[in-house]
Amino acid sequence: MKKRKWLGIITLASLILFASSCYAAGGHGKKQEKKVGILLIAFGSSIPSAQISFDNIDKKVKSVYPNTEVRWAFTSHIIRPMHSMLP
C-alpha cells in the first residue's frame, strides 16, 4: 500500500513539474512570428559536374518561391564540407 501511495505522489509531482515547464516556456497563448522556409535535402556528390544539378534545383525553387528562404542539407558527412559554399 505504501508503494502505491509513493507512486501516486511521484506521478503527480512529475506531472506538475512537466506542466510548469511547458507553461514557463511562454509559447502558449502568445502570437509568434510565423517562420517559413524551404529545406532541400540531398545525399550530395563528390563529382564537381553534379554541382550543376544542385544549382539548377536551387535556382528553380528560388524562382518559384522568391520571398522564401531556401537552405540545403546534405546527408553525407563526407560530402557536406564540399557543398558548404552553396548560395
**Tens of pLDDT, residues 55-85:** 999 999 999 999 999 998 888 777 665 555 5
**Tens of pLDDT, residues 24-56:** 555 556 777 888 999 998 887 888 888 888 899
CATH class of segment(s) 33-87: alpha beta
> What's the longest Cα–Cα distance across the chain?
72
Note the pLDDT of residue 38.
94
Buried b (16+ CB within 10 A) or exposed e, 39-52: eeebebbeeeeeee
Kindly report the average pLDDT of the chain as a whole number: 76
What pTM was computed for the model?
0.54
**Could you tell me the residue ranges of all domains in the chain?**
1-30, 33-87
Note the pLDDT of residue 65.
94
